[in-house]
Amino acid sequence: MKILKIYLALILMFAFFSCDIVEPPYKKNSSVTPVDTTKRKVLVEDFTGFRCGNCPEASHKAEQIAELYPDRVILLALHAGPLSIPTPTRKYDFRTPETREIGDYYGLIATPYGMVSRRKFNGQTLQAPSAWAGFTEETLQLEALLKINLTGSYNESSREITANLKLDYIKDSELSHYYAVYIVEDSIVQYQQDDRQFPNIHVNDYVHNHVMRGSMNGTWGLPVSNSIIKAGSSTDLQLKYTIPENKDWRPKKLSLIAIVQNNETKEVLQVEKIYLYK
């Protein structure tokens, strides 16, 4: 009799707990809010010059940083300063009005120097190459205020570049937010002094990468909007630029770098890059 009571108790307990089993399909909780995973990206700008013997080593340091943070660090080489000025025997001119304006704005008097998202560290924006890695890591930890969705195309017959931007704001924008799109070229084979190659420091077939060729809308860009863009909202922007006939740029080696910056402090808040030809 005692065994029978235990048996019946087990049956009743099993029946009670089996009522809690939920059969598929399972209904999702519709109240869950998606988490935005947008990351802050960093622009490392490398002031360089083809007569600067220490600049190749600095460029190498920048490449190492970009490799350490794939798709989070974007490089831009700005040819400016005294050692970027052509000579009677080295006539190729990498400089642009934009690179000279940026160099003058920050008081560049020597190379190599660089900037990390144009932020100030210890009161200085221009930083020696040895400092780039640490300041890049620090900047990557900052919260992203927006995401840049960038697409581009090139019309071979008209030589026209089109850039389309969609800015998705995670936080409210500010009226000081400006956007700029820079045109960049890789794999330019020209002369470079490289002191690492001593005594053969004159390298005639040096490969220059991440070279700023110009801007589609000026050095500092244009206002994103004349009104505040609320968090969770976006804005669409488009730029067009026709490559002048006298430029030797190779479209298949071109890319576009889009930035959104605080035009009062010049700090780059977000950056994105695409290649015109994939």
Mean of the pLDDT values across residues 45-62? 98
In a domain, 172, yes or no: yes
Sequence-separated (6 or more) residues with CB below 8 Å from residue 251: 154, 156, 159, 243, 276, 277
Q: Is the pLDDT of residue 243 over 50?
A: yes
User: What is the rounded average pLDDT for all residues in the chain?
Assistant: 90
Question: What is the per-residue pLDDT for 36?
Answer: 57
Q: With respect to residue 180, please indicate whether it lies within any of the assigned structural domains.
A: yes
pLDDT above 90 for 45: yes
Residue 160 has pLDDT above 60, yes or no: yes
In a domain, 16, yes or no: no
User: In the prediction, which pLDDT does 1 show?
Assistant: 46
Q: What is the pLDDT of residues 163-221, one digit of tens each?
A: 999 999 999 999 999 999 999 999 999 999 999 999 999 999 999 999 999 999 999 99
pLDDT, mean of residues 48-65: 98
Q: In sequence order, what are the residues at sequence separation of 6 or more whose Cβ sits closer than 8 angstroms to the Cβ of residue 107?
A: 126
In a domain, 173, yes or no: yes
Q: Using DSSP bridges, classify how beta strands 268-275 and 222-223 pair: parallel, antiparallel or unpaired.
A: unpaired
- Using the predicted structure, report yes or no on whether residue 10 has a pLDDT greater than 70: no
Is there a domain that residue 130 lies in? yes
Provide the CATH number for the domain around residue 121.
Answer: 2.60.40.10
pLDDT at residue number 159: 97
pLDDT higher than 80, residue 13: no
SS (H, E, C) 79-93: ECCHHHCCCCCCCCC
pLDDT score, position 278: 75
> What's the CA gap between 266 and 184, in Å, rounded?
20
pLDDT over 70 percentage in the chain: 87
Percent of the chain whose pLDDT exceeds 90: 86
Neighbour-count burial of 253, counting CB atoms closer than 10 A to its CB (0-12 exposed, 13-18 middle, 19+ buried):
middle
- What is the average pLDDT across 56-61? 98
- Host domain of residue 197: 42-275
Domain count, the chain: 1
pLDDT of amino acid 37: 76
Residue 29 lies in a domain: no
Q: Is the pLDDT of residue 50 over 50?
A: yes
Q: What is the pLDDT of residues 23-42, one digit of tens each?
A: 444 444 444 444 557 999 99
Three-state SS letters, 218-278 = CCCCEECCCCCCCCCCEEEEEEEEECCCCCCCCHHHEEEEEEEEECCCCCEEEEEEEECCC
Average pLDDT over residues 242-266: 97
Which runs of consecutive H residues, i.e. helices, occur in the chain? 2-18, 55-68, 97-105, 129-140
pLDDT, tens only, 71-106: 999 999 999 999 999 999 999 999 999 999 999 999
In a domain, 30, yes or no: no
| pLDDT of 146 higher than 70 | yes
Specify the pLDDT at position 70.
Answer: 94
In a domain, 222, yes or no: yes
Let me know if 146 is exposed, middle or buried by CB neighbors in 10 A (0-12, 13-18, 19+).
Answer: buried
pLDDT in tens, 128-140: 999 999 999 999 9
Place of tokens 């190492």: 64
